[in-house]
Amino acid sequence: MSGHRRNLFAVTAASFIGFTGFTLVMPFLPLYFNLLGVRDVGDVALWSGLSLGVTPALTAFLSPFWGRLADRFGRKIMVERSLVSFVLVMGATAFVTRAWHVFALRAAQGLFAGYGALTLTMAADSAPRGRMAQAIGMVQTAQRLGPALGPVIGGIVAQVVGLRHAFLVAAAFYLAAVVIVFALYDERLVREHAAEDPERDRAVTFRNVLAFENFLLMMAVIFGLQFVDRSFGPILPLYVQLLGVGTDRVALVSGILFSIAAATGAIGHHYCARLLRRRSASHVIAAASAVAAIGAAGYVAAGSVRWLFLATPLFGIAIGAGMTAAYTAAGSVIPAGARGAGFGLLTTASLVGLALSPIVSGVLGATSLRAVFLLDVVGLAILAVVVRRVMTKPGTPAPEPPLAEPTAEAA
């Protein structure tokens, strides 16, 4: 196995194991609060919401900062730092005795998380010239499949060893991810690859990154696709029930639909590279947004749950392909020495979409469940039109972002 392939395998495997380890226990957090003595349903919902929300909120704020440090000191050590923090927090969660202990640990986790963005950066760094889309797609596929399998594995683990000890199993997953990155990822190869970049020594600030060609537009695309993708979570079981599925089958049918969306999203990530060889990134993103809008429209028009099984694969593949194309388009314009900061900003956009989507869906869904999917259709259609009209095509002259004088921020 060549060095670049080994590096890509390391970050893909670490992403899959880490995302699996996270969803091994987090879906069962409300049950854990019951175990800690919280009995009131409202209190359980409050603690669960706060504990699940605080980590991505802090991560969204700090991702660009960790990315900047990774640009200065190396991606590998920053990913190892983040994964080790997960080992410690997951392990400590197994020994908590109060609900606020869980919240405090999740807040601490948010301060040190961010390995997801950094693994995408490492994949882009390790990719041979012209293969960035394939590398990013592989890591995003792993990040999709992990959460699809994690709850199933977690349910089995909790049954065998108990919910409290399941957190120790999750910590072991993260420890395995640390070992893989430490043993297999060779950052020297990345430095040699970066040395070929004529712009590697340019002083680049966050303002410069935002000024790169299409970068702000891609942040908006990633926010929009993530917002739409996560809008289904709070209301899909309710919508399945509205379409006439019996109460005893709602959980099963909803679970199958979520799994289909995750699996087809992974397919979209994986095959996006092939699409980008034939079409421009603007064409792929616009087409993916339009196809996803058609899939969401299938939800709006559905008269029975059968329609959802037709619309979901279409929606999932399109969202996956669009997301990988957006990350690839943004990553291709960032100099190697600033990719950590760049992918950190992209992750911030993604996490903000992830955080806002359930809130908006819940409020809008209280009025009409179909209105949530209608909002998705409108948002995706706007994305498709804006990308086709605004996105600069390869080879089109674009204004150069101003170069910064060497400063403490750029160093």
Number of structural domains (the chain) is 2
Please check whether residue 86 lies inside any domain of the structure: yes
Q: Within this chain, do residues 323 and 371 fall inside the same structural domain, yes or no?
A: yes
- Structure confidence at residue 409 (pLDDT): 34
Question: Which residue range(s) make up the domain with 279?
Answer: 205-394
- Structure confidence at residue 295 (pLDDT): 95
- Structure confidence at residue 401 (pLDDT): 41
Total-model pTM? 0.76
For 188, counting Cβ atoms within 10 Å of its Cβ (0-12 exposed, 13-18 middle, 19+ buried), the class is exposed
Q: Within this chain, do residues 106 and 54 fall inside the same structural domain, yes or no?
A: yes
Please check whether residue 193 lies inside any domain of the structure: no
Q: Within this chain, do residues 176 and 235 fall inside the same structural domain, yes or no?
A: no
- Structure confidence at residue 202 (pLDDT): 53
Distance CA(245)–CA(236), nearest Å, equals 12
Q: Within this chain, do residues 127 and 154 fall inside the same structural domain, yes or no?
A: yes
- Residue-wise over 336-369: b if at least 16 C-beta within 10 A, else e? bbbbbbbbbbbbbbbbbbbbebbeebeebbeeeb
Q: Within this chain, do residues 172 and 305 fall inside the same structural domain, yes or no?
A: no
Please check whether residue 221 lies inside any domain of the structure: yes
Return the CATH number at 267.
1.20.1250.20
Phi then psi for 401, rounded to 5 degrees?
Answer: -65, 140
Please check whether residue 238 lies inside any domain of the structure: yes
- Structure confidence at residue 220 (pLDDT): 92
Distance CA(119)–CA(203), nearest Å, equals 23
- Structure confidence at residue 197 (pLDDT): 52
Q: Within this chain, do residues 105 and 18 fall inside the same structural domain, yes or no?
A: yes
- Structure confidence at residue 407 (pLDDT): 35
Q: Within this chain, do residues 129 and 277 fall inside the same structural domain, yes or no?
A: no
Q: Within this chain, do residues 108 and 161 fall inside the same structural domain, yes or no?
A: yes
* pLDDT, mean over the chain: 82
- Structure confidence at residue 396 (pLDDT): 42
Q: Within this chain, do residues 389 and 294 fall inside the same structural domain, yes or no?
A: yes
Please check whether residue 317 lies inside any domain of the structure: yes
Q: Within this chain, do residues 167 and 85 fall inside the same structural domain, yes or no?
A: yes
Q: Within this chain, do residues 244 and 276 fall inside the same structural domain, yes or no?
A: yes
Q: Within this chain, do residues 305 and 243 fall inside the same structural domain, yes or no?
A: yes
Per-residue pLDDT of the chain (411 residues; tens, 9 = 90+): 677 888 889 999 999 999 899 888 887 787 888 889 888 877 877 787 788 778 888 888 888 888 778 878 888 888 899 999 999 999 999 999 999 999 999 999 888 887 877 888 888 887 777 778 888 888 888 888 888 788 778 888 888 888 899 999 999 999 999 999 999 888 877 665 555 555 554 555 556 666 677 888 999 999 999 999 888 876 787 888 888 888 778 877 877 888 888 889 889 988 888 898 888 989 999 999 999 999 999 999 998 999 999 999 999 999 999 999 998 888 888 777 777 778 888 888 888 888 788 778 877 887 888 998 999 999 999 999 999 998 876 544 444 444 333 333 333
At CB < 8 A and 24+ separation, what contacts does 136-140 make? 136/324, 136/327, 136/328, 136/331, 137/269, 137/270, 137/271, 137/272, 137/273, 137/324, 138/8, 138/12, 138/269, 138/270, 139/8, 139/11, 139/12, 139/15, 140/266, 140/269, 140/320, 140/323, 140/324, 140/327
